[in-house]
Structure 1
Amino acid sequence: MLNLKVTTVGLSAGLILSKEAMAFLKVRKGDTLYLTEAPDGSYRLTPYNPEFERQMSLAKEIMHEDRDILRALAK
């Protein structure tokens, strides 16, 4: 388990990530993190954009359903 410290950043609050936490999350300074709620009510801090994942799932569905049309268009 890693501890994160909430600190003041200007008029806002921010989290301090140790080198260990940044390595664990595979992030660098300037990257964006997303705080999401899991189905069980817990929270996740992740560098992966859940909206992008949803859009890619929809795209895969469409590509699978319309694969014949896409093949014809690729010719």
Structure 2
Amino acid sequence: MNATLKITRIGNSAGVILPKELLARLRVGPGDTLYLTEAPDGVRITATDPGFERKMALAEQIMRDDRDILRALAK
């Protein structure tokens, strides 16, 4: 999908209006949060927190390494 977005004045700020096709593709709507991250070729907009995957991988590693401790705590 290619889209051209125009910067629009919103009060003292500026913003862009996202086409409904892009909103549908991202599965977001008014009030949802989007995340902007730098990429080698510019910027990337996603609906998922880019840090979440890293945090989950760390949590899974801790759960594997400390399985016996966690099992004892669960009793």
Which TM bucket (shorter chain)?
A: 0.7 to 0.9
Q: Distance in 2 between matches of 1:33 and 1:4?
A: 16
Q: Distance in 2 between matches of 1:49 and 1:35?
A: 9
Aligned to 1:4: 5
Deviates more, 1:56-65 or 1:25-34: 56-65
Q: Distance in 2 between matches of 1:24 and 1:5?
A: 19
Task: State the TM-score, normalizing by the size of structure 1.
Answer: 0.83
Aligned to 1:24: 25
Measure how far apart 1:54 and its partner are.
2.3
- Residue 48 of structure 1 aligns to a residue whose secondary structure is coil
Identity of aligned residues (%): 59
Measure how far apart 1:30 and its partner are.
0.9
Q: Distance in 1 between matches of 2:43 and 2:34?
A: 13
- Residue 68 of structure 2 aligns to a residue whose secondary structure is helix
Structure 2 unaligned spans of 5+: none
Structure 1 unaligned spans of 5+: none
- In the alignment, is residue 50 of structure 1 matched against residue 50 of structure 2? yes
Q: Distance in 1 between matches of 2:9 and 2:33?
A: 18
Task: State the TM-score, normalizing by the size of structure 2.
Answer: 0.83
After TM superposition, the runs of 4+ consecutive aligned structure 1 residues lying more than 3 A away are none
